[in-house]
Structure 1
Amino acid sequence: MKLKGHQIIIFGLPRFDSPIESTNYTTAKLLARENEVYYIENPFTVRDFFRLRKTPEYQLRKKHFSLTGCSLIETDTPNLKVIIPPILLSVNFLPENGIFRAALRFNEFLIRTKLKSILKAYKIRDYIFINSFNFHYPGLTDGLTPKLKVYHCLDPMVLPFNRRHGVVSEDILVKQSDVVICSSKQLYEEKKTQNPYSYFVANAADLGHSSKALNNDLPVFPAIAALKKPVIGYLGAIERRMDYDLLKKVILANPDKSFALVGPVSREFVPDWFFTAENVHFPGSIDYHDMPAVIKGFDVALIPFKKDEVSSSIFPLKLFEYLGAGKPVVAIDFNPDLKEFTKGAVKFCEDAESFSEAINAALQTDNADQRKTRVTIAAENTWENRVEAIADIIHFHLEQVIHP
Structure 2
Amino acid sequence: MKIHSPQTGKKGLNGHTILFLSLPKHDGHYTSTPWQIAAQLAKQNKVIFVDHPFTFVDLLTGFFKPGIKKRFKAFFGSKSFTKNDVHVILTPFVWPVNFLPKGKLYDFFSYLNHRILASRVNGYLRKHSIDSVIYVNSFNFYFPALHRYLKTSVVLDVYHCIDPMVKAFTVKHGQYLQQEAAQEADLIISTAPSLQKSFMDRGFQKSYLVPNAANFELFNKAVTDKTIYKKLDGIEGKVMGYLGNIERRTDFELLRRVLDQLPEWQLVLAGPVERQYVPVEIFEHKRIHFIGPVPHEEAPSVVRRFDVALIPFKCDEVSQGIYPLKLFEYMAAGKPVVSTNFNPDVLSELNEVVHVAETEEQFADFVLLAYATDSQEKMEKRIQIAAQNTWEQRAQLFSSYLIKELDLNHRLPYVA
- For this structure pair, what is the TM-score category when the shorter chain's length is used for normalisation? over 0.9
Residue 65 of structure 1 contacts residue 87 of structure 1 at CA under 8 Å; is this kept in 2?
A: no
Residue 13 of structure 2 aligns to a residue whose secondary structure is coil
Q: Does 1:91 align with 2:100?
A: no
Cα distance, 1:185 vs structure 2: 0.6
**Does the aligned pair in 1 maintain the 2:238–2:265 contact within 8 Å?**
yes
Return the alpha-carbon distance in structure 1 between the equivalents of residues 109 and 71 of structure 2.
Answer: 24
Map 1:7-26 onto structure 2 (within 5 A): 7-26=17-36
| Contact persistence 2:51–2:91 (CA under 8 A) | yes
Cα distance in 1 between the residues matched to 2:54 and 2:280: 35
State the Cα distance separating 1:343 from its structure 2 match. Answer: 5.0
Q: Give the superposed CA RMSD.
A: 1.8
> How far is 1:87 from its partner?
2.0
* 367-376 vs 12-21, greater mean Cα deviation: 12-21
Give yes or no for contact 1:301–1:327 (8 Å, CA) kept in 2: yes
Partner of 1:386: 394
How many angstroms apart in 2 are the aligned matches of 1:278 and 1:115?
Answer: 49
**Conservation of the 8 A alpha-carbon contact between 1:174 and 1:194:** no
Structure 1 residues 246-282: Cα deviation after superposition (integer angstroms, max 9, x where no partner): 2222110110111112222223222222233332222
Q: Match for 1:127: what amino acid?
A: V
The 2-side partners of 1:170 and 1:112 are apart by: 19
Match for 1:30 among 37, 40, 51?
A: 40
AA of the residue aligned to 1:20: Y
Residues 1:35 and 1:340: Cα distance change in structure 2 (over 3 Å): farther
Match of 2:215 in 1: 206
* The one of 70, 73, 92 aligned to 2:80: 73
Work out the CA distance in 2 between the residues paired with 1:58 and 1:279: 35
CA apart distance, 1:4: 0.5
Instruction: Tell me whether 1:171 sits opposite 2:179 in the alignment.
Output: yes
SS at match of 1:268: helix
When structure 1 is superposed on structure 2, of 127-136 and 280-289 the one drifting more is 280-289
Contact 2:355 2:370 in 1 (8 A): no
User: Which amino acid in the other structure matches residue 335 of structure 2?
Assistant: K
Alignment match of 1:264 (pick from 269, 272, 296) = 272
Contact 1:328 1:362 in 2 (8 A): yes
Q: Percent identity at matched positions?
A: 36
* CA shift digits 1:187-216 (9 cap, x unpaired): 00111224211101111111111111111x
1:282 partnered with 2:281 = no
Is residue 57 of structure 1 aligned with residue 51 of structure 2?
A: no
Indicate the residue corresponding to 1:306 in structure 2: 314
Q: In the aligned structure 2, how far is the partner of 1:103 from the partner of 1:163?
A: 19
Aligned twin of 2:135: 129
- Select which of 169, 185, 207 maps to 1:161: 169
2:111 is matched with which residue: 102, 105, 108?
Answer: 105
CA separation in 1, counterparts of 2:192 and 2:288?
A: 32
Number of aligned positions between the proteins:
398
Of 153, 173, 180, 2:188 maps to: 180
For residue 180 of structure 2, what is the amino acid of its counterpart? I
Query: Are the aligned partners of 2:156 and 2:186 in contact in 1 as well (CA < 8 Å)?
Result: yes
Aligned partner letter, 2:223: L
Q: 1:83 to 1:284 in 2, by over 3 A?
A: closer
**CA, structure 1 residues 118+241, in 2 after alignment: closer, same or farther (shift >3 Å)?**
same
User: Within 5 A, what are the aligned runs for 1:246-261?
Assistant: 246-261=254-269
Query: When the two structures are superposed, what TM-score results if normalisation uses the length of structure 1?
Result: 0.94
How far apart are 1:340 and its partner, in Å?
A: 4.7
Distance 1:43 1:246 in 2: 36
CA distance in 2, matches of 1:3, 1:83: 22
Name the CA distance, whole Å, in 2 between partners of 1:254 and 1:146: 56
Q: CA deviation at 1:399?
A: 0.8
What is the identity, as a one-letter code, of the residue corresponding to 1:2?
A: G
Deviations 1:68-120 (A, max 9, x none): x9x54222433x21122332111111111121012101211222233233222
Select the residue among 115, 121, 130 that pairs with 1:115: 121
Question: Could you say which structure has the greater relative contact order, defined with CA pairs below 8 angstroms and 6 or more residues apart?
Answer: 2
Cα distance 1:33–1:298, how it changes in 2: closer, same or farther (>3 A)? same
Instruction: Tell me the equivalent position of 2:146.
Output: 140
Change (3 A) 1:269 1:143: closer
Which range moved further: 263-272 or 96-105?
Answer: 263-272
Matched, 1:227 2:228: no
For residues 75 and 144 of structure 2, what CA distance do their matches in structure 1 show?
21
The alpha carbon displacement at 1:164 in A equals 1.5
**Residue 141 of structure 1, CA deviation:** 1.4
CA distance in 1, matches of 2:59, 2:289: 35
Kindly provide the amino acid, as one letter, of the partner of residue 58 in structure 1: I
| Letter paired with 1:389 | L
Aligned-pair CA distance for 1:51: 2.5
| CA displacement at 1:387 relative to structure 2 | 0.9
Q: Deviations over 1:14-49 (max 9, x none)?
A: 222234111111211111100011111211211122
How far off is 1:63 after superposition? 4.5
**Structure 1 CA distance, aligned partners of 2:275 and 2:289?**
14
Residue 348 of structure 1 deviates from its aligned partner by 0.7
Q: Tell me, which stretches of 5 or more residues in structure 2 are unaligned?
A: 1-10, 412-416
CA contact (8 A) 2:71 2:91 kept: no
Secondary structure of the residue that 1:249 maps to in structure 2? helix
Q: 1-side partners of 2:267 and 2:149: how far apart?
A: 53
Write the letter of the residue equivalent to 1:102: F
Name stretches of at least 5 consecutive residues in structure 1 with no aligned partner. Answer: none
